[in-house]
Structure 1
Amino acid sequence: MPWSPALKSTLRSGLHLERTVTEPFQVLRGMLGVAIVLFGALALGETGLATSAALGAFIAGTASYQRSFRPRPVLALYAAAGLSASSFVGYLASPWPPLYVVVLGLWAFTAGLAWALGQTAGVVASTTVSVMLIVVTLPENVPEALEHAGVIALGGVVQATLAAIWPGRRWGARRDALADAYASLAHYARRLRHDPFASFDPDPLMNARRAAELTPAQARRRPSELAGMRSYAERIRPVLAAMADPRVGAAEEGPQRDRARELMGAAAEILDAIARSIRSGRPAPIAERTYRALTVPGSGPVLDGAGRQAALRLIGLLAEASDAVEAVDRGDPVHGEANAPGHLSRPGLRQLLPVLPHALRRHWNWSSPVLRHAVRVGVVAAVGEILGRSLPFQHGYWAPMTAVMVMRPDFSQTYARGVARLAGTVLGVVVATGIIRLTHPSAWICAGLAVVSIGGAYLLMRTGYAAMSTCITGYVVFLLAMGGEANTSTVEDRVLLTLLGGLLALIAYAVFPTWQTVRLPDRLAAYVEAGGRYSAAAVDAYAEPTEHSRALLRAALLEHRQTRAELLTASEQAAGEPVRHRGLHTAQLADARSAMAALGRTTMLMEAHLPPPQSSPVPGAAEFAEVLREQTAAAARAIRADEPVDLHALRDHYEQWAQWLPTPAADPADEPGGAADLVYRDAGLLVEALEGLDSALNS
């Protein structure tokens, strides 16, 4: 879209407020951590140390609220260590302004690279730059700088300790992630009742998988209702799709479709009950009529063929999942084995260190949004510091601090956060400074106001960045006012410096952008290639029915989900960017995504009816899988090179393969997973889906 609509969209996004607030319990815990170190340092008569300690406690507490499945105390300690190091390094360089500007720029560049490790690492690293800018003005010598670094670390230790001894809902985030996965399956089952080709959103299952990554110590303490439940959800997903699809499951209309709707309605109720049980830790009741709907009549389900197979498998999986949840009420012990079902290894800090160089190497190229963001934020931090020192304003660090906190690797977040930060900071400065000018509070009153402000920031953290920025700005102003600094600085100074910092961030992205729009062909190509590997792995599971082939299929599924998520994220970000791609049009991208969704849906059907291990291999399936893999890889290369896509060779191979295969069985149930069933049903649907991709990209 053009610049004007794009800026209007980001303006609305930045100022939009949600009704969601943080749990009051967590807010009180964060406020208590800040109050302990702040009032403790004030009691010793050290207002400067109190400011540093409070900043450390505030940011460490903020780190523990990030959407991460790592232990909250550990996140607080990581943040405290980074904050302490940044403040000390900054002070060592501060006596020489040119050196300090270089150190600040390099530190900001390194903080920008931290986004290679994920959003939590990137957010925490950005806050270390702000602490360097503020705390460097407080100590007067190296011993005092060490003291400030120590109390910053102490603030993080206090927050970590409180998070450990006062954790709130134990395993709450992991419970919610797994419960959300089951709730999404229930929603999917209800949608399938009315739309047999409804799409499935794998994001909740991906999040549940991340939540299942545990250290061995965590696995020993994990509640039993969280062990192994994710695997049931993964197995139920393709069975629901197979039963609902009229091409391979229940007939489109008639008694079979009525029976399928009845089963899917009952499945939705049971899946919802399982979600409630996981979320609360107590088994949720299931109505007797729901169980009666799943009862197999004497003559078997009305469904027949592959649809009957899917129905029986669904009934069995739902019974197993329900029994696994209800086993908690019978006092089953916690599954503590390292190889417990659903347990994925989560590396600790030492195991993560070798991952860091690999992540940096992966992003060490000019097209990487992480590297470009690191360069932008490093340059802007240095330029902002130079301008702040050059202008006749006090507290010139407000300009680079605002710029660093606003900037993100993508356009939409940077501009939306820029607008929100500017609005929130201006309001916070005006209100906080006005209170100080009118009341002339003592240091203790300022400390109390700071604690109240930070409580508001914690409470409104999920409401919107503008509201949170207002509270954070007030918090910083009240902390600085404890030493009398607020009375020597005007509201106009802080507002102008904030505007300058926000303007620098916005100009930097406009001059040196990282457009997701130009990356869409590469994202789509990766999605197509991963989708081809996923479908080929499913066909290979018929050609070589072994546990190894199923493991390869699972790995291909995870890659397919990840590339899909990356394409969706890039598409959402590109929708708000003021640029257009000259080769890949919006309509083409939408049609291509629809074709790939059909490919994934068909592969799900194949997953639902995989032959058992050691079954007879399907003749010719391995060759078809190889052609499928090669053709989708060639299509991906053509998309990246902006060349025509040609997938006709796949249809030719399919037709040649079908000529010498036997006639399909009259009832697919007589030959589950047989050669005729595969060729005349699933492989043909795969070819049709890829022909849709061919048409979409060549239109």
Structure 2
Amino acid sequence: MSWLRALKATARSGLTVERRRLEPLVAARAALGLALVVGATLALFGPGAAISSAFGAFQAAIATFQRSWRPRPTLALASGASLAVSTFLGYVTGAGTHPGPFLALLAVWTFLSGLAWAAGPTIGIIASSNVAMMLVTVTLPTSVAAAAGHAAMIAVGGVVQAALVVLLPVRRWGAQRDALADALAAEADYARRLRQDPVAPFDPVPLMTARSAAAVTPRQARSRPAELHGARGLAERIRPVLASLADPAVGAPAEGPQRDRVRELLAAAASVLDAAAHAIRHGEPVDLPPGAVAALRTPDTVAILDGPPRRAAVRLAALLDDVVETAEPRTETRTPTPTETRTQTPTAAGAQTRTQTASQSQSQPKSRARPTLLRLAPVVAARMRAELRPDSPVFRHAVRVTAVTTAGYVLGSALPLGHGYWAPMASVMVMRPDFSQTYSRSVARFGGTLVGVALATAVVEVADPGVYASASLAVACAFGMYLLMRTGYAVSQVCVAAYVVFLLGMGGSAWTQTVYERVVLTLLGGVLAMLAYAVYPAWETPRLRGRLADWLVTDGRYAASVVAHYANPAGHVCADVREALLDTRAARIAWQEALDRATHEPVRHRGLSRAAADDAGHALAQFGRVAMLMEAHLPERGAPPVPAAATLAEALRRSTERGGKAVRERRVPEWDELRETVANSGPLMTDPLLRKGAGLLLDALDDLSESLAPPTDRA
């Protein structure tokens, strides 16, 4: 993509307004906290302290809106406290009187905030926002004692927002409920698509999000609703069962009575999963559709299906029972589950599967531990240290944002405009580790600032508000920002720009002193940010082969772990298989995100065209799908082992590791050893599913090699 096309695409992205579900009660609570803090400090201490406390409460509320599974009060307290410390240290280093020491502190603080992205976007956003707010708040105090007072007011703003989250809860555990419900709803949608397309793809992101949401701190674990326990693990195990039931390669034939029965079971499973998702999302009892219950309880299943499809159908019914039981709020009476109302003819295999599935489900861990903030600190520090290398995108982002912020501060101070901090503040708020976000946010911030300042100026000219009216208008703008934050960065910046104009007007700054300065300096900060990325980039395009190699290696380890359990049967709950599956999911998502970012970069493909990348991704997705189908039919504990599977597992692991190295070195991977192993071990594989799966795995790897071959060498 050329630079011109890339700039057009990022500009459109930055100015796009999305339709999102609004949360007016949460926004009103955040605005109430801001109003309480500003009103109290304005009445007791005057406009200067009110502005400081307003920034603290404003930033603390923004922290509670971040996509984090930590308790919202904790985020508000951490944000308020860190901004208070930053403000106090910024003032005592000589902001305004000794610019040298303050510039050094600003550089260190900004560099650390850039490295904080290594710990995730939530910490990175809070750290960057603290640097931006510090640039404003250090200009308010007039002495060290006053600086301490302003820092205390900022911290109080965080405390008030945290207290309101506790005292006025809005849909407590709502984010976790939504994450788990979205995972179950994604499974339901998958089941419906499998009815029409037996090899339909599945996006694992909802399951990964639900897994992140399931990790709780010790305090959260004491109050988590019972229905949020366990259902995620069940959803994880349902997905391969659905795929194996639908896929003609290992499940029912493509046409005939068995396929018709499979379609009925998939439709019933989708209805049950949707009912469980609705119950979890709203905290209500599960209302099972009678038609789905009837479809699951018919005795025709074991009469029509045989072999692997029958085992998959019985296992699916057992897992759905457990999902419904887990999703049901804990009351004295509950809705009967499908198996409890089912009258199908029992079989020895079905009874054994039901018993083993229930036993495995009860043995699953009910919660994942999330460290407290104090215990998280050394983890974050270790991640930041690990990024201190020249080829790290996070390190390059930290260097860029530090250089731009310090240069913007120097230029803004040198220009005869006043309020020079607006240039570095704009830069630090728009800069992100990747190209597309930095450029789109730069355009959105300038456009939003222009509109917001113009609207606020018109209001000031017409109404000429006083101190309290300006405070009220600032709170109203903050409410608009909280409400519309997730609809687009440009929209939120309209509200933020007006908020700052009214807030500074409350402190005595005339509107004529803010309009021209803020627009020009915001433009300067955005231009510096965009130039910095062009001069010192961290392009994703050259790293695509490395991402693809990582996915190949993790896919190979996952398939090898699955195949190895045919040689040493251990049942359907295997820690090594689960760990390998999580690794390959993470690698797949990293590949997809990198491919999306590379699409918008003004960089040539450098050895991996978009067509080759798409074909390679499809081949590895098929490889992972075959391994998942084999996982769905792992032999039960105590089943006869297949010794040849151990040889195949080792060949898979070695071949994919060598293949990953070849991909990184821009060579076409070869699979001669694996091909020879499959040919020699095929007759010794007594399990027909294992024998067929080995051939399908090899076919997927051949497709990968073909996608990476030069165009002249392709078949």
The two structures share one fold, judged by TM-score above 0.5: yes
What is residue 431 of structure 2 aligned with on the other side? 407
What is residue 362 of structure 1 aligned with on the other side? 386
Q: Deviations over 1:399-432 (max 9, x none)?
A: 1111111111111111111111000011112222
Counterpart-to-counterpart distance in 1, 2:421 and 2:235: 51
Q: Are the counterparts in 2 of residues 21 and 459 from structure 1 also a CA contact under 8 Å?
A: no
What is residue 682 of structure 1 aligned with on the other side? 693
Q: Please give the residue correspondences for 1:127-526 in structure 2 after superposition, counting only pairs within 5 Å.
A: 127-297=129-299, 300-326=302-328, 328-330=330-332, 341-487=365-511, 489=513, 491-526=515-550
Counterpart-to-counterpart distance in 2, 1:276 and 1:549: 27
Counterpart-to-counterpart distance in 1, 2:481 and 2:487: 10
What is residue 670 of structure 1 aligned with on the other side? none
Q: CA separation of 1:598/1:44 partners in 2, compared to 1, >3 Å: closer, same or farther? A: same
Counterpart-to-counterpart distance in 2, 1:340 and 1:294: 25
Q: Are the counterparts in 2 of residues 541 and 549 from structure 1 also a CA contact under 8 Å?
A: no
Q: Which moved more, 1:637-646 or 1:375-384?
A: 637-646
Paired AA for residue 273 in structure 2: L
Find out whether 1:92 has 2:84 as its counterpart. Answer: no
Measured after TM superposition, the shift of residue 439 of structure 1 is: 3.1
Q: CA separation of 1:487/1:279 partners in 2, compared to 1, >3 Å: closer, same or farther? A: closer
Find out whether 1:572 has 2:596 as its counterpart. Answer: yes
What is residue 696 of structure 1 aligned with on the other side? 707
Measured after TM superposition, the shift of residue 478 of structure 1 is: 1.0
Counterpart-to-counterpart distance in 2, 1:532 and 1:322: 34
Counterpart-to-counterpart distance in 2, 1:547 and 1:357: 40
Q: Deviations over 1:198-248 (max 9, x none)?
A: 011111010111111012332232211111111211111100000100011
Q: CA separation of 1:340/1:602 partners in 2, compared to 1, >3 Å: closer, same or farther? A: closer
User: 5+ residue gaps in structure 2?
Assistant: 335-361, 711-715
Q: Are the counterparts in 1 of residues 561 and 580 from structure 2 also a CA contact under 8 Å?
A: yes
Q: Are the counterparts in 1 of residues 480 and 495 from structure 2 also a CA contact under 8 Å?
A: yes
The total of aligned residue pairs comes to 681
Q: CA separation of 1:383/1:619 partners in 2, compared to 1, >3 Å: closer, same or farther? A: same
What is residue 335 of structure 1 aligned with on the other side? none
What is residue 343 of structure 2 aligned with on the other side? none
Counterpart-to-counterpart distance in 1, 2:248 and 2:382: 46
Q: TM-score, normalised by structure 1?
A: 0.95
Q: Are the counterparts in 1 of residues 647 and 677 from structure 2 also a CA contact under 8 Å?
A: no
Counterpart-to-counterpart distance in 1, 2:137 and 2:363: 47
Q: Are the counterparts in 2 of residues 536 and 629 from structure 1 also a CA contact under 8 Å?
A: yes
Measured after TM superposition, the shift of residue 543 of structure 1 is: 1.6
Q: Deviations over 1:70-100 (max 9, x none)?
A: 0000000111111111111111121211222
Counterpart-to-counterpart distance in 2, 1:495 and 1:299: 69
Measured after TM superposition, the shift of residue 330 of structure 1 is: 2.9
What is residue 632 of structure 2 aligned with on the other side? 608
Over the aligned positions, Cα root-mean-square deviation in angstroms equals 1.7
Measured after TM superposition, the shift of residue 488 of structure 1 is: 5.8
Find out whether 1:657 has 2:681 as its counterpart. Answer: yes
Q: Are the counterparts in 2 of residues 86 and 131 from structure 1 also a CA contact under 8 Å?
A: no
Q: Which moved more, 1:348-357 or 1:534-543?
A: 348-357
Paired AA for residue 552 in structure 1: D
Measured after TM superposition, the shift of residue 285 of structure 1 is: 1.8
Q: Are the counterparts in 1 of residues 301 and 313 from structure 2 also a CA contact under 8 Å?
A: no
Measured after TM superposition, the shift of residue 398 of structure 1 is: 0.8
Q: Which moved more, 1:36-45 or 1:142-151?
A: 36-45
Measured after TM superposition, the shift of residue 301 of structure 1 is: 4.1
Q: Are the counterparts in 2 of residues 227 and 340 from structure 1 also a CA contact under 8 Å?
A: no
Measured after TM superposition, the shift of residue 547 of structure 1 is: 6.7
Counterpart-to-counterpart distance in 2, 1:604 and 1:226: 26
Q: Deviations over 1:168-208 (max 9, x none)?
A: 11111111000000000000001100101101111101011
Q: Please give the residue correspondences for 1:8-87 in structure 2 after superposition, counting only pairs within 5 Å.
A: 8-87=8-87
Q: Deviations over 1:85-137 (max 9, x none)?
A: 11111111212112222221221111111111110001100111112110111
Q: Deviations over 1:357-385 (max 9, x none)?
A: 32123212111111111111111000000
Q: Are the counterparts in 1 of residues 540 and 597 from structure 2 also a CA contact under 8 Å?
A: yes
Q: CA separation of 1:556/1:427 partners in 2, compared to 1, >3 Å: closer, same or farther? A: same
Paired AA for residue 460 in structure 2: I
Counterpart-to-counterpart distance in 1, 2:248 and 2:300: 24
Counterpart-to-counterpart distance in 1, 2:363 and 2:502: 51
Counterpart-to-counterpart distance in 2, 1:577 and 1:480: 39
Measured after TM superposition, the shift of residue 513 of structure 1 is: 0.9
Measured after TM superposition, the shift of residue 616 of structure 1 is: 2.8
Q: Deviations over 1:289-315 (max 9, x none)?
A: 211111242672422211111111111
Q: CA separation of 1:123/1:327 partners in 2, compared to 1, >3 Å: closer, same or farther? A: closer
Counterpart-to-counterpart distance in 1, 2:303 and 2:708: 43
Measured after TM superposition, the shift of residue 55 of structure 1 is: 0.5
Report sequence identity in percent: 51
Counterpart-to-counterpart distance in 2, 1:305 and 1:327: 36
Q: TM-score, normalised by structure 2?
A: 0.93
Q: CA separation of 1:216/1:538 partners in 2, compared to 1, >3 Å: closer, same or farther? A: same
Q: Are the counterparts in 1 of residues 423 and 523 from structure 2 also a CA contact under 8 Å?
A: yes
Q: Are the counterparts in 2 of residues 230 and 342 from structure 1 also a CA contact under 8 Å?
A: no
Paired AA for residue 182 in structure 1: L
What is residue 613 of structure 2 aligned with on the other side? 589
Q: Which moved more, 1:321-330 or 1:155-164?
A: 321-330
Counterpart-to-counterpart distance in 2, 1:45 and 1:594: 63
Q: CA separation of 1:92/1:488 partners in 2, compared to 1, >3 Å: closer, same or farther? A: farther
Q: Deviations over 1:567-598 (max 9, x none)?
A: 11111111111112221111111111111111
What is residue 341 of structure 2 aligned with on the other side? none
Paired AA for residue 275 in structure 1: A
Aligned to 2:304, the other structure's residue is in SS state coil
Counterpart-to-counterpart distance in 2, 1:678 and 1:28: 57
Q: Which moved more, 1:303-312 or 1:148-157?
A: 303-312
Counterpart-to-counterpart distance in 1, 2:162 and 2:152: 15
What is residue 554 of structure 2 aligned with on the other side? 530
Counterpart-to-counterpart distance in 1, 2:300 and 2:541: 58
Counterpart-to-counterpart distance in 2, 1:340 and 1:639: 37
